[in-house]
Amino acid sequence: MNIITGLLIIAIGAFCQSSSYVPINKIRRWSWESYWLVQGVFAWLIFPFLGALLAVPAGHGLMELYSSALKETLLTIFFGVLWGVGGLTFGLSMRYLGVALGQSIALGTCAGLGTIMGPVLLNIFFPELNALSSLTASVIIGVVVTLVGIAIIGVAGGMKSATLSEEEKKEAVKDFNFPKGLAIALLAGFMSGCFNVGLEFGKDLNFGELTHPMFRTLPATLLVTIGGFVTNAAYCLYQNASNKTFTDYTDGSLWASNILFCALAGLLWYSQFFGLSLGRSFFETGSAMDTLAFCILMALNVTFSNVWGIILKEWKGCSRKTIVVLVTGIAVLILSSFLPELLK
């Protein structure tokens, strides 16, 4: 029952993340770099900070925690900076492939590499932790099945690209470009996998028994998102200067609605990692489910992003065969979430 509860909480977070691009579409007359930066303030600073505070017991502070493990803190931020590059290209993958296909490829790559790179790199920096022992056969199989599901959805995307006319492609996704979008999505997935690497390096950044198990990964989550914010803020401000779009921030008539939608998008986005922290507390520490939790989250993100893709008519005009392939891929991803338990 604990496993079902944990998966349900992670699924709710995944649904929220997959919904985060809906309020962004409501933002008016702001350039991409402007709304990406503002929503990032909420998604990567404000809400993660509030979440991290839940892990701090009375009489203690976050700075006390981070300063007591400076090496782990700095490495966690470093991988957050790398993840930030993935976040930038992640947004571009949506532009060229749409929500469904862009998230599928990027998050699939992120799921597989993020799950495996964490223990591998942790073993290099801290060999005494024997992190590689967490990469059991069931974990590897779970990752492989997740990637198979992603590949099937990728095939559906290729079929979609081949059958739609140029007019239909532009109607569904304005700047649809499959080859360019695929390259960007793969890069985004590789760099985005560094988020889980950061979480692995920062998994002990909590107050032990004084921190509720549900909140123990939230201080590390804050460090990763701070690193990501630095990367994204630098790029967005550069784009503001290059495109002369600083005036977006001075139009007071748009502040209320645009900031509200940015805040909502940020809250929905952060919900995935808040839910991941809560959900993992229901899994046995060090178990296959615990190791695969990040991979499961990404798989569910892909599942729900494709549901939104269908709702937003991104698959409009596709053949019945293409839809069958898409649904098959989604089914495989759902199966991958339960696979570690089935293999016990």
pLDDT in tens, 300-316: 888 888 788 888 777 77
Neighbours of 342 (CB within 10 A): 10
Would you say the pTM of this structure is higher than 0.85?
Answer: yes
User: Taking residues 85-100, what's their average pLDDT?
Assistant: 77
Number of Cβ within a 10 Å radius of residue 57: 13
How far is Cα 115 from Cα 184, in angstroms, rounded to an integer?
20
Who has greater pLDDT, 179 or 217? 217
pLDDT tens digits for range 320-334: 898 899 889 888 888
Residues 6+ apart with CB under 8 A from 247: none
What CA–CA distance (Å, rounded) separates 102 from 108?
A: 10
Distance of CA 224 to the CA centre of its chain: 12
Cα–chain-centroid distance for residue 77?
16
pLDDT digits (tens, 9 = 90+) for 272-299: 999 999 999 999 888 888 988 998 998 8
* All structural domains of the chain with their residue ranges: 2-342
Q: How confident is the model at residue 341 (pLDDT cuts 50, 70, 90)?
A: low
